């Protein structure tokens, strides 16, 4: 098992940043990781999470699964309140805007992300909430 495969949480964020994603971008089962920084909806502080992503053209797609927990992850609730976020993909750090995919777009993107991380389908069976699929687009200017 590689170092990257054992990374989790804050340690994953630290190693990713230290190495510009050289360690931490590729994770378990070949999944790709980006760093998402949101503004805390209560604290106002910045919060960074390593998340599996897929690309859809020049957009990034992430899933608010929380392993099928009954509630949304904090990072998702943060970006719903403040959709201006920061992303790091490898050594590229940039502002982005987040939105939740709906309808046909969500279904298409759900299939896309499940090809990379098939566990999302099993997570959905564990919860009554419809797991959000989030589209992240680089902010212009």
Closest CA to 62 of 118, 4, 113: 113
Alpha carbons within 13 angstroms on the beta-carbon side of residue 117 total: 23
What pLDDT digit, counting tens, does each position of 42-101 carry? 999 999 999 999 999 999 999 999 999 999 999 999 999 999 999 999 999 999 999 999
Grouping H, G, I as helix, E, B as strand and the rest as coil, residue 108 is: helix
Closest CA to 66 of 10, 120, 6: 120
Whether residue 4 is predicted with pLDDT greater than 90 in this model: the reply is no
According to the model, what pLDDT value does residue 64 have?
Answer: 98
According to the model, what pLDDT value does residue 1 have?
Answer: 57
The second-level CATH assignment, the architecture, of 3-138 is Roll (2.30)
Quote the CA–CA distance of 24 and 41 in Å, as a whole number. 27
31 falls in which pLDDT band (50, 70, 90)? very high
According to the model, what pLDDT value does residue 22 have?
Answer: 94
**Domain residue ranges in the chain:** 3-138
């Amino acid at each position: 098992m590689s170092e990257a495969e054992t990374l989790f949480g804050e340690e994953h964020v630290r190693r990713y940043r230290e190495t510009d994603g050289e360690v931490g971008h590729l994770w378990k089962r070949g999944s790709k990781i980006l760093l998402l920084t949101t503004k805390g909806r209560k604290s106002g502080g910045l919060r960074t999470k390593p998340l599996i992503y897929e690309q859809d053209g020049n957009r990034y797609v992430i899933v608010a699964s929380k392993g099928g927990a009954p509630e949304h992850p904090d990072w998702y609730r943060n970006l719903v309140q403040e959709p201006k976020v920061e992303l790091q993909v490898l050594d590229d750090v940039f502002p982005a805007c987040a939105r939740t995919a709906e309808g046909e777009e969500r279904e298409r993107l759900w299939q896309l992300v499940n090809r990379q991380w098939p566990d999302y389908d099993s997570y959905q069976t564990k919860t009554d909430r419809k797991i959000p699929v989030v589209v992240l687009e680089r902010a212009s200017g």
